[in-house]
């Protein structure tokens, strides 16, 4: 059985793959063209909520790790993150001095790298539906010998059931969508929000009937 695909890549590895500098990628991230990530240790965020796993970080916060000259630093402490692209930034409350990152700690999720390559036509990639594998065998994702698997919707349904069992029925479909996007972020493969919303809408009548 082949090994599972990587979930993320160090930014310097992707820079080499794309024949650009890491600071170029940071600049694109600042411009909103690509998202940077880090493997967050267990930290405390708002309302004493504990967070860990792969999260998005702000490119501006790690710029000096890749800049040139005297401003370039070997380590930077970050004080904010968000659990998925487009979500609100959350402040790290504990540890109070933030989470230290080195250049090798700045990551790009595999799905994000593949999206960027499709969008810009790198290595024969072409734009495709986010919920489908590449149409041609020649469109080989990073680190794989074939097309990536579809999102695991059976595991998604199980995660929804666990969420309702552990935390109770969500107040709205929107809340459940946000929670499930967080769940996907922890797996390293994140569908677009509209796809998750359609899945939640399909499950919602069953959930509300059982809750009643």
Q: Which two tokens stand for residue 73?
A: 């630093």
Model pLDDT, residue 48: 73
**pLDDT tens across 26-60, in order?**
999 998 899 999 999 999 987 778 888 999 999 99
Cut 0.85: pTM above it: no
Spatial separation of the C-alpha atoms in residues 43 and 121, rounded to whole Å:
38
Model pLDDT, residue 130: 43
Model pLDDT, residue 61: 94
Q: Which residues contact 176 (CB under 8 A, 6 or more apart)?
A: 160, 163, 170, 200, 204
Model pLDDT, residue 68: 66
From the number of C-beta atoms within 10 Å of its C-beta (0-12, 13-18, 19+), residue 40 rates as buried
Q: H-helix or E-strand containing 53?
A: strand 50-57
Model pLDDT, residue 50: 87
Model pLDDT, residue 123: 72
Residue 211 has pLDDT above 70, yes or no: no
**pLDDT tens across 189-199, in order?**
788 888 888 88
Q: Which residues contact 173 (CB under 8 A, 6 or more apart)?
A: 197, 200, 201, 204
Mean pLDDT (the chain) is: 81
Any bridge partners for residue 19, and if so which? none
Model pLDDT, residue 135: 37
Positive or negative CA dihedral for 59, 60, 61, 65? positive
From the number of C-beta atoms within 10 Å of its C-beta (0-12, 13-18, 19+), residue 85 rates as middle
């Amino acid at each position: 059985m082949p090994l599972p695909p990587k979930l993320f890549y160090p930014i310097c590895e992707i820079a080499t793959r794309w024949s650009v500098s890491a600071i170029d990628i940071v600049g694109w991230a600042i411009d909103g063209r690509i998202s940077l990530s880090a493997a967050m240790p267990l930290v405390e965020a708002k309302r004493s909520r504990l967070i860990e796993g792969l999260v998005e970080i702000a490119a501006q916060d790690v710029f000096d790790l890749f800049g040139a000259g005297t401003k370039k630093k070997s380590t930077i402490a970050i004080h904010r993150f968000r659990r998925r692209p487009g979500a609100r930034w959350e402040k790290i409350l504990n540890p109070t001095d933030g989470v230290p990152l080195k250049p090798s700690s700045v990551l790009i999720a595999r799905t994000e790298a593949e999206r960027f390559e499709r969008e810009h036509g790198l290595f024969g990639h072409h734009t495709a539906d986010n919920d489908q594998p590449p149409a041609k065998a020649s469109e080989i994702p990073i680190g794989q010998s074939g097309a990536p698997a579809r999102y695991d919707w059976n595991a998604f349904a199980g995660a929804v059931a666990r969420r309702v069992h552990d935390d109770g029925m969500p107040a709205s479909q929107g809340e459940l969508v946000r929670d499930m996007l967080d769940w996907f972020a922890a797996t390293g493969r994140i569908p677009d929000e509209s796809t998750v919303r359609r899945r939640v809408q399909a499950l919602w009548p069953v959930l509300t009937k059982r809750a009643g």
